[in-house]
Chain A
Amino acid sequence: TQLLEQSPQFLSIQEGENLTVYCNSSSVFSSLQWYRQEPGEGPVLLVTVVTGGEVKKLKRLTFQFGDARKDSSLHITAAQPGDTGLYLCAGETNFGNEKLTFGTGTRLTIIP
């Protein structure tokens, strides 16, 4: 079973600060997805990266897929209270399998 480790597990910062969340594995993934989950709801997809070294931006969020496709990072610039939530990375491996392996999550709290 592939493991995806996320760090930090918890992060609490002031509004306006920058932060980076990491997702690491010893396995190679064909793609990696980032989800955000808010209390009482299911995870919602933020972005998918499929090419080693790929960088995608979603407003103040920047996602990067490692060159070897084993790791990824999420960087948030000028964090806002609306960014508060549980961030999950999830990796896909075998084509035709559709199986996602989820990381343990990073619980982010932005203090106004």
Chain B
Amino acid sequence: EAQVTQNPRYLITVTGKKLTVTCSQNMNHEYMSWYRQDPGLGLRQIYYSMNVEVTDKGDVPEGYKVSRKEKRNFPLILESPSPNQTSLYFCASSRFRDRVGLASEQYFGPGTRLTVT
């Protein structure tokens, strides 16, 4: 079954304690992305990756790191979490568009609800 998996699904942690949220996809997609979802703000992109070893900042990258050492995995790292990073996080992947006019369908993981106290 084609899917994007995230772990953990729920996490409660304290300020400053480093954490990693894993993301894995089995569809051989080139493009992967992390979003956070907050009430009234919608989904905002944190980081994205066009392929292995190629990552770039999204709209709200401060306080986050990512890596793309393998095509299937795209972990999100919070080196020193703070309460304002309490949010619902989604990983997504899509096939790279290879010509104009095609739109990329993004497949989302089930989400990770993070609480930082």
Q: Are B104 and A98 in contact (CB under 8 A)?
A: yes
Question: Which residues of chain B are near A33, meaning CB under 8 Å?
Answer: 103, 105-106
Q: How far is the CA of A74 from the CA of B80 in the complex (A)?
A: 41
Instruction: List residues of chain A with CB within 8 A of the CB of B40.
Output: 104
Expressed in whole angstroms, the Cα–Cα distance for A92 and B40 within the complex equals 21
The bracket for how many chain B residues form the interface is: 20 to 34
- Given contact pairs A98-B48, A102-B42, A43 touches B105 in the complex (Cβ within 8 A): no
Interchain CB contact under 8 A, A42 and B94 = no
From A14-22, A44-52, A56-64, A76-84, give the one contacting chain B.
A44-52
Enumerate chain A interface residues (CB-CB to B < 8 A). 1, 30-31, 33, 40-45, 48, 50, 88, 90, 92, 95-96, 98-100, 102-105
Q: Which residues of B contact A (CB under 8 A)?
A: 4, 31, 33, 35, 40-45, 48, 50, 58-59, 90, 92, 94, 96-97, 100-111
List chain B residues, Cβ under 8 A from A95: 97, 100
Return 22 A-B CB contacts under 8 Å, by A number: A30-B100, A31-B103, A33-B106, A41-B110, A42-B90, A42-B110, A43-B106, A45-B105, A45-B106, A48-B103, A50-B101, A88-B42, A95-B97, A96-B97, A98-B50, A99-B48, A100-B45, A102-B42, A102-B43, A102-B44, A104-B42, A105-B42
Q: Are A50 and B111 in contact (CB under 8 A)?
A: no
